[in-house]
Structure 1
Amino acid sequence: MATKQLASWAVNLDAASLPESVRQCALRSLYNYIGCTIGGSNHATVSKACDALSPFFGRETSSLLGHEGTKKVDAQHAALINGIASHVHDYDDTHLATIIHPTGPVASALLAYAEYSGGTSGESLLCALTAGIEASCKIGLAVWPEHYDIGWHITSSTGNVGAAVAVGKLMQLSEDQMAHAIGIAAVQVVGLREMFGSDTKSFHPGRAAQSGLLAALLAEKGYTSSPQALEAKRGWANVVAGGGTPKLEQYVSELSQKWEIEANAFKPFPCGIVCHPAIDGCIQLHHEMKSKGLRVQDVQKVDATVHPLVIELTSKRAPKDGLEGKFSVFHGGAVGLLYGKAGPAQYADEVVTDEGVVSIRDRIDATPDKNLKPDEVYLTVHFADGTELKRHVLHAVGSLEVPMTDEQLTEKFVDQVALVLGSDGAKEASDTAWKIAEARDVTGVLGRL
Structure 2
Amino acid sequence: MQTVDLARFVVETPDDAVPLEALQRARDAVIDTIGCAISGAAEQPALIARRYVQSIKAAANTVVWGSALRTAPAEAAFVNAISGHALDFDDSLPSLRGHPSVPLCAAGLAAAPQALSGRAFLSAFVLGLEVAGKLGRALGHGHYMRGWHITATVGTFSATCMTGRLMSLDEGQLRNALGIAAAETAGLVRNFGTMAKSFQAGHAARSGYIASWLAREGFTGDDNILDRPGGLIAAYGDEHSTLNVPPFADPWEIFEPGIYVKRWPCCYGNHRGLAGVFELVQKHGIEASDIVEINVGFLPDADKALIHRNPQTGLEAKFSIEYCAAAAVIDGRVTLDSFAEAAVHRPQVRALMEKVRRVPMPGQGSFSGVVGYTDVEIVTHGGRFSTRIEHTPGSPEAPMTASDRRDKFLGCTQSVLGTDRAERLLSALEGLIGAADLREIIELIVPAQEGAVA
Partner of 2:248: 255
Gaps of 5+ in 2: 446-454
Query: Match of 1:104, as an amino acid?
Result: V
Query: Match of 1:64, as an amino acid?
Result: V
Task: Please show how residues 142-157 of structure 1 align to structure 2 within 5 Å.
Answer: 142-157=138-153
Paired residues of 2:3 and 2:175 also in contact (CA < 8 A): yes
Deviation at 1:419, TM superposition (A): 4.2
Partner of 2:21: 21
Q: Take 2:291 and 2:421, find their aligned partners in 1: how far apart are those partners?
A: 40
Partner of 1:285: 280
- Number of matched residues? 438
SS at match of 2:75: helix
Task: Please show how residues 112-123 of structure 1 align to structure 2 within 5 Å.
Answer: 112-114=110-112, 117-123=113-119
Is 1:388 paired with 2:384? yes
Paired residues of 2:373 and 2:391 also in contact (CA < 8 A): yes
Q: Take 2:383 and 2:174, find their aligned partners in 1: how far apart are those partners?
A: 63
Q: Take 1:60 and 1:22, find their aligned partners in 2: how far apart are those partners?
A: 34
Q: Which of residues 264, 274, 282 in structure 1 aligns to 2:259?
A: 264
Task: Please show how residues 69-88 of structure 1 align to structure 2 within 5 Å.
Answer: 69=68, 71-88=69-86
Query: Match of 1:224, as an amino acid?
Result: T
Query: Match of 2:374, as an amino acid?
Result: V
SS at match of 2:90: coil
Query: What is the percent sequence identity of the aligned residues?
Result: 28
Deviation at 1:424, TM superposition (A): 4.4
Partner of 1:400: 396
Partner of 1:52: 52
1:365-385 residue CA offsets vs partner (Å, 9 max, x unmatched): 12110339744222222223x
Going from structure 1 to structure 2, the CA distance change for 1:231 and 1:199 (only over 3 Å counts) comes to same
SS at match of 2:387: strand
1:100-133 residue CA offsets vs partner (Å, 9 max, x unmatched): 211111111110122xx33111111001111111
Paired residues of 2:140 and 2:240 also in contact (CA < 8 A): no
Is 1:226 paired with 2:219? no
Q: Take 2:272 and 2:372, find their aligned partners in 1: how far apart are those partners?
A: 5
Deviation at 1:405, TM superposition (A): 2.7
Is 1:300 paired with 2:292? yes
Deviation at 1:359, TM superposition (A): 2.1
SS at match of 2:388: strand
Deviation at 1:51, TM superposition (A): 2.0
Q: Take 1:254 and 1:399, find their aligned partners in 2: how far apart are those partners?
A: 23
Q: Take 1:41 and 1:315, find their aligned partners in 2: how far apart are those partners?
A: 25
1:352-374 residue CA offsets vs partner (Å, 9 max, x unmatched): 12222222222211211033974
Partner of 1:353: 345
Paired residues of 2:96 and 2:135 also in contact (CA < 8 A): no
Partner of 1:214: 210
Partner of 2:134: 138
Q: Take 2:75 and 2:185, find their aligned partners in 1: how far apart are those partners?
A: 18
Going from structure 1 to structure 2, the CA distance change for 1:413 and 1:375 (only over 3 Å counts) comes to farther
Paired residues of 1:274 and 1:375 also in contact (CA < 8 A): no
Query: Match of 1:343, as an amino acid?
Result: T
Partner of 1:313: 305
Partner of 2:96: 98
Paired residues of 1:274 and 1:310 also in contact (CA < 8 A): yes
Going from structure 1 to structure 2, the CA distance change for 1:118 and 1:20 (only over 3 Å counts) comes to closer
Going from structure 1 to structure 2, the CA distance change for 1:341 and 1:419 (only over 3 Å counts) comes to farther
Partner of 2:451: none
Q: Take 1:375 and 1:350, find their aligned partners in 2: how far apart are those partners?
A: 33
1:274-293 residue CA offsets vs partner (Å, 9 max, x unmatched): 2111111112223224xx4x
Going from structure 1 to structure 2, the CA distance change for 1:396 and 1:350 (only over 3 Å counts) comes to same
Paired residues of 2:81 and 2:102 also in contact (CA < 8 A): yes
Q: Which of residues 236, 239, 246 in structure 2 aligns to 1:244?
A: 239
Query: Match of 2:220, as an amino acid?
Result: T
SS at match of 1:65: coil
Deviation at 1:425, TM superposition (A): 4.3
Q: Give the TM-score taking structure 1 as reference length.
A: 0.92
Query: Match of 1:349, as an amino acid?
Result: E
Partner of 1:170: 166
Going from structure 1 to structure 2, the CA distance change for 1:315 and 1:153 (only over 3 Å counts) comes to closer
Query: Match of 1:356, as an amino acid?
Result: Q
Q: Give the TM-score taking structure 2 as reference length.
A: 0.91
Gaps of 5+ in 1: none
**For the aligned residues, what is the CA RMSD?**
1.9
